Amino acid sequence: MISLYFHIPFCSKKCPYCHFYVIPNKAAYHPLLAEGLEREWQMRLPQTGKAPIQSIYFGGGTPSLFGPAQIGQVLQRIGNRAPDCEITLEANPEEIDEARLCLFREVGINRLSLGVQSLDDRSLQTLERIHTASKAKEAIFAAKQAGFDNISIDLMYDLPGQTEASWRYTLDQIGDLPITHLSLYNLTIEPHTPFDRRKATLLPLIPPPELSLKLLQSAVEELEKKGLHRYEISAFAKAGCESKHNVGYWIGRPFLGFGPSAFSFWEGSRFRNTPNLNKYTKLLNEGKFPVDFKEKLPYPANVNEQLAVELRLIRGVDLSKWELPEETLITLDRLEKGGLLEKSPTGYRLSERGLLVYDSVAEDIISYDVRVSEAENRT
């Protein structure tokens, strides 16, 4: 089983917290990207062999801006390789309606991911989003009317000026929406973004750790009541609607990324396309892969990293899948004794406390190689 990711970088407006590669949605860029995606598919096709495709994901940017016809052309090239495939399209509420969504359904999209972020207009203004809460809800119901039975939305917390009451206002509306999946993120101020340049002003307004914890806990409790069960640190779904694509990332399923800045994980190597549309297309026209970064972790760094990533899943990890070094087993035992991990039927999973400090747990597991390197340098 493999997965495919297509990065469509077009945006009407780049959000001030976004650190992904995006470019203005200009008509002249569309044929350039379409040409690049076609050439890259033909060049990568021999690599895929006859492996069945588990999931296809159109991310960005705002992939819906590429249009149903161009998205349809991409899917036509893939053909019957993906008969029962989960095919996701990201979209923003202000740029879709029922008629347009019906066209996406007709070309093969069967899962929609909407960048809602909040159902509180004050929070949306803080994030400088174009849509309103009313428009977000209208888009969700339009997707349902268009025939989408698998609808995911994104929500964000830890926003400047956010209170328990404003967060509760958003959570209280979730139960009325025909969604099957929700991704929950706390605001992170990334380097080289407009929010980063305004960090001195924004940081004092961001909820302190004790309030952040309350916001997260209230979300987990409310979503569970509404039938959205937490299956990964930041993901909630109704039974059977877990994201096949994202689960693939967490369990290490091979995937190929297409488009400028797209990442791939293939045959144990991780690589990225150049984050520049013109350079990306130029290299492909010269018969070259547009890769500008590649790495293959040696053992045991590769298994330690995958172990740490898979621990994001609430079900935990199956230790029988890996040959773990003694140092890693000692680390896992120490984390369990420290109350951050707990035993599962097949290995370990994060405890309730571990879920709150996952980054520290992952760093502890992955830093095995740093400790070994330092030890070797001392001998």
**pLDDT per residue over 229-278, tens digit each?**
999 999 999 999 999 999 999 999 999 999 999 999 999 999 999 999 99
Domain finish residue from 249, 269, 284: 249
In a domain, 278, yes or no: no
SS3 86: strand
Domain check: are 214 and 353 in the same one? no
Q: What length is written for the chain?
A: 379
Q: Which residue has the tokens 């909407």?
A: 114
List the one residue out of 245, 240, 209 whose CA is nearest residue 227: 240
Domain count, the chain: 2
Domain check: are 223 and 356 in the same one? no
Residue ranges in the chain modelled with pLDDT below 70: 368-379
What values do phi and psi take at 336, rounded to 5? -65, -45
In a domain, 286, yes or no: no
Domain finish residue from 195, 227, 249: 249
Domain containing residue 331: 315-378
Domain check: are 366 and 226 in the same one? no
In this prediction, residue 371 carries a pLDDT of 46
In a domain, 55, yes or no: yes
8 A C-beta contact, residue 113 and residue 96: no
SS3 356: helix
In this prediction, residue 379 carries a pLDDT of 41
> pLDDT of 95-144, one tens digit each?
999 999 999 999 999 999 999 999 999 999 999 999 999 999 999 999 99
List the one residue out of 18, 353, 11 whose CA is nearest residue 185: 18
Domain check: are 227 and 361 in the same one? no
In a domain, 270, yes or no: no
Domain finish residue from 201, 228, 249: 249
In this prediction, residue 368 carries a pLDDT of 58
SS3 content of the chain, % helix, strand, coil (to 5): 45, 20, 30
In a domain, 274, yes or no: no
In this prediction, residue 319 carries a pLDDT of 93
Domain check: are 241 and 331 in the same one? no
What does the CA dihedral 17, 22, 24, 26 come to, rounded to 10 degrees? -160
In a domain, 43, yes or no: yes
In a domain, 145, yes or no: yes
Tokens of 134: 């009313």
Partner residues linked to 269 by β-bridges? 266
Domain check: are 227 and 359 in the same one? no
Domain check: are 230 and 322 in the same one? no
Domain check: are 230 and 336 in the same one? no
Q: What is the Rg, in whole angstroms, of the alpha carbon atoms belonging to the chain?
A: 21
Which secondary-structure segment (H or E) carries 98?
helix 98-107
Domain check: are 243 and 325 in the same one? no
Domain check: are 244 and 322 in the same one? no
In a domain, 306, yes or no: no
Q: What amino acid is encoded at 304 in this protein?
A: N
d(CA 340, CA 62): 37
DSSP 8-state assignment for residue 247: H
d(CA 116, CA 257): 25
Domain check: are 86 and 183 in the same one? yes
Partner residues linked to 186 by β-bridges? 157
The CATH number of the domain holding residue 161 is 3.20.20.70
Domain check: are 337 and 245 in the same one? no
Query: What integer best gives the mean pLDDT of the chain?
Result: 94
In this prediction, residue 104 carries a pLDDT of 98
In this prediction, residue 145 carries a pLDDT of 97
Task: Identify the sign of the CA torsion 183, 231, 222, 344.
Answer: negative
